[in-house]
């Protein structure tokens, strides 16, 4: 028996081991590429939702000009930020931003494309709050006319993407 006949199956085994290693590397890189693609898609969706929320904030800013003549009654996205947590007036019960229902929110007038739902916002007139500089035994309140809090939320292309922005505005009373 010579050396060439005793090694006939060794090349096949070595080739199969190399094929197995290459297959494992190929599957791992495919999984990595798929994950990178999903991450890029999620990032795009979050960016779209953020831009939609920004559009809602800009529309709320534009609506601030007419607020002097508007009654904050708890409808159409206009609420009061009441310092008393036991106040049961409708104007004091702003909607929870976590709830997906649009009840109580003002929907943006301009139709935005590439979003699952149109962005929404609420404007809260910050009413009387306790004076932070007053004595501890004082229960007097001060007026904070001209201060408003806007909470806006935008949605992406997915039903699981929502971005919430909150800003506070001070408007000079004329």
Rounded to an integer, the average pLDDT of 94-108 is 85
- pLDDT at position 126 over 90: no
Rounded to an integer, the average pLDDT of 19-28 is 96
Q: What is d(CA 89, CA 3) in angstroms, rounded to the nearest whole number?
A: 97
- pLDDT at position 53 over 90: yes
Q: Residue 75's beta-bridge partner residues?
A: 78
Residue-wise DSSP of 153-169: EEE-SSTT-EEEEEEEE
Rounded to an integer, the average pLDDT of 38-61 is 94
Structure pTM? 0.72
Residue 45 contacts residue 161 (beta carbons within 8 Å): yes
- pLDDT at position 13 over 80: yes
Residue scoring higher pLDDT (64 or 117): 117
Return the residue matching tokens 């990178």. 36
At 132 the pLDDT is 55
Q: What is d(CA 67, CA 144) in angstroms, rounded to the nearest whole number?
A: 15
How sure is the predictor about 143, in pLDDT bands with cuts at 50, 70 and 90? low
Residue scoring higher pLDDT (160 or 83): 160
- pLDDT at position 6 over 80: no
- pLDDT at position 3 over 80: no
Q: In the chain, count H helices and then E strands.
A: 2, 7
By residue count, the chain amounts to 174
Rounded to an integer, the average pLDDT of 23-44 is 94
- pLDDT at position 51 over 90: yes
Residue 92 contacts residue 82 (beta carbons within 8 Å): yes
Rounded to an integer, the average pLDDT of 144-148 is 71
Q: What is d(CA 109, CA 2) in angstroms, rounded to the nearest whole number?
A: 88
Residue scoring higher pLDDT (64 or 172): 64
How sure is the predictor about 133, in pLDDT bands with cuts at 50, 70 and 90? low
């Amino acid at each position: 028996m010579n050396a060439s006949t005793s090694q006939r199956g060794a090349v096949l085994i070595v080739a199969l081991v190399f094929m197995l290693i290459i297959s494992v590397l190929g599957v791992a890189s495919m999984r990595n590429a798929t994950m990178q693609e999903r991450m890029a898609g999620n990032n795009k969706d979050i960016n779209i939702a953020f831009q939609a929320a920004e559009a809602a904030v800009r529309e709320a800013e534009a609506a601030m000009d007419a607020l002097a003549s508007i009654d904050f009654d708890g409808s159409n996205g206009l609420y009061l930020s009441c310092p008393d947590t036991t106040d049961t007036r409708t104007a004091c019960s702003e909607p929870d931003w976590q709830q997906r229902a649009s009840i109580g929110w003002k929907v943006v007038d301009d139709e935005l494309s590439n979003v699952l739902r149109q962005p929404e916002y609420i404007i809260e007139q910050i009413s009387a709050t306790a004076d932070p500089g007053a004595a501890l035994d004082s229960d007097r309140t001060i007026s904070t006319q001209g201060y408003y809090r806007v909470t806006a939320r935008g949605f992406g292309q997915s039903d699981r993407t929502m971005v919430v922005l909150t800003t506070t505005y001070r408007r000079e009373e004329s």
